[in-house]
Amino acid sequence: MFDKLALIGIGLIGSSIARAARLNGLARTIAIATRQQATLEEARALGLGDHYTRSNAEAVRDADLVILCVPVGAYAAVMADIAPALKPGAILSDVGSVKGQVVKVVEPFVPAGVHFIPGHPIAGTEHSGPAAGFPELFVGRWCILTPRRDTDPVALDRLTSFWGAMGSNVERMDPAHHDLVLAITSHVPHLIAYNIVGTVADLETHTRSEVIKFSASGFRDFTRIAASDPVMWRDVFLTNRDAVLEMLGRFLEDLSQLQRAVRVGDGPAMEALFTRTRAIRRSIITAGQETAAADFGRPHGGSEAATPTAPDVPRIGIREHGGGEDA
């Protein structure tokens, strides 16, 4: 599909793209760039690409498809490096979980003749680094593309086919709408998870150890989300501030109502809310974005971390790009 694919950043998402592209024969050559020599050597040892370099410009030279797989906060510096080396006709995309800020930061650097099509694969785990990736990560998951109205249709179709060949369902969306939707489906849940787990971290040592020892599934799921890459998520909240604050405000209003129901013992109000939320859960399962398997389909035959994640094993919440990903 592409003669040369260049990946800038090789964390969970970047390494999964490399593996999936190799497995499905989507690129003749894969070039990998990352600023850390140790990460580059790890990617080399895993055989993720054909060319390895710490120079972003060197990686993208003559590339037909370039995908930014670094935290959104690094985009401006990366674009300053690669803009002069991008060849005319190349497709430039990314995997960031924020799109409005990406457009604002990247577009001023894009040379004439280069097709910039922002993207966001909604897939991931709480793990990061080159070894965390696997080729099935995108199978059955959504990838959202946010092209401009004047985007070249041939380039858009090629990028759509690329993600489709890796198993993704592809949706096209306006960047601002994407950011609002992801604020409630991903960003605010992560913020809540970080806060709840942070509350435990602030407890007295004895109580904290008991919470950890007797963790129930609800708290364990929060810790999975809160284990996501801290740099990436710092950048998400800094760059999608308005949408996150909008959805967080709505959440706090609803939380206040629930708090009142608990305080006054309003059982019918609580039951009505919990009935509505069960319906949302069932809708997600029906849409194929989750499984009804016991314990959310988690493996029980050994260490979870050592078990390859199959495409039908769900992520609780939407965990994006660790390391060089979105989540």
Q: In what order do the strands lie in the sheet with 142-145?
A: 119-121, 142-145, 169-172
Q: What pLDDT score was predicted for residue 94?
A: 98
| Strand, coil or helix: 274 | helix
Cβ pair 152, 115 in contact under 8 A? yes
Note whether 106 and 149 are same-domain residues: yes
Note whether 35 and 85 are same-domain residues: yes
Q: What pLDDT score was predicted for residue 289?
A: 67
| Separation of alpha carbons 77 and 153, rounded Å | 28
pLDDT winner (highest mean) among 18-27, 274-283, 313-322: 18-27
Instruction: Supply the CATH number for residue 128's domain.
Output: 3.40.50.720
Q: What pLDDT score was predicted for residue 293?
A: 62
Tell me the DSSP string of 37-81.
HHHHHHHHHHT--SEEES-HHHHHTT-SEEEE-S-GGGHHHHHHH
pLDDT winner (highest mean) among 150-164, 216-230, 294-308: 150-164
Note whether 15 and 156 are same-domain residues: yes
| Strand, coil or helix: 31 | strand
Cβ pair 59, 40 in contact under 8 A? no
310 domain-assigned? no
Instruction: Supply the CATH number for residue 265's domain.
Output: 1.10.3660.10
Residues spanned by the domain of 273: 177-297
Over residues 86-104, the mean pLDDT reads: 96
303 domain-assigned? no
More confident residue, 70 or 308: 70
Q: What pLDDT score was predicted for residue 199?
A: 85
Closest to 8 in 3D by CA, of 91, 64, 70: 70
pLDDT > 50? residue 311? no
Note whether 166 and 226 are same-domain residues: no
Over residues 99-107, the mean pLDDT reads: 95
Q: What pLDDT score was predicted for residue 211?
A: 80
DSSP symbol at 147? -
Note whether 199 and 268 are same-domain residues: yes
Q: Model confidence over 145-173: pLDDT tens digits?
A: 999 999 999 999 999 999 999 999 999 99
Cβ pair 327, 320 in contact under 8 A? yes
pLDDT > 50? residue 74? yes
| Separation of alpha carbons 165 and 168, rounded Å | 7
Note whether 156 and 30 are same-domain residues: yes
Note whether 206 and 251 are same-domain residues: yes
- Distance set, CA 110 to CA 87, 91, 98, 151, 297 (Å): 11, 10, 18, 13, 43
326 domain-assigned? no
Task: Give the pLDDT band (50/70/90) at residue 299.
Answer: low
DSSP symbol at 170? E
The model scores a pTM over 0.85:
no
For the beta carbon of residue 92, count every other beta carbon within 10 angstroms: 27
Task: Give the pLDDT band (50/70/90) at residue 225.
Answer: confident
| Structural domain count of the chain | 2
Q: What pLDDT score was predicted for residue 165?
A: 97
Q: In what order do the strands lie in the sheet with 2-8?
A: 51-53, 27-33, 2-8, 65-68, 91-94, 115-116
Over residues 234-254, the mean pLDDT reads: 89
Strand duo 65-68 + 51-53: pairing: unpaired
Note whether 282 and 166 are same-domain residues: no
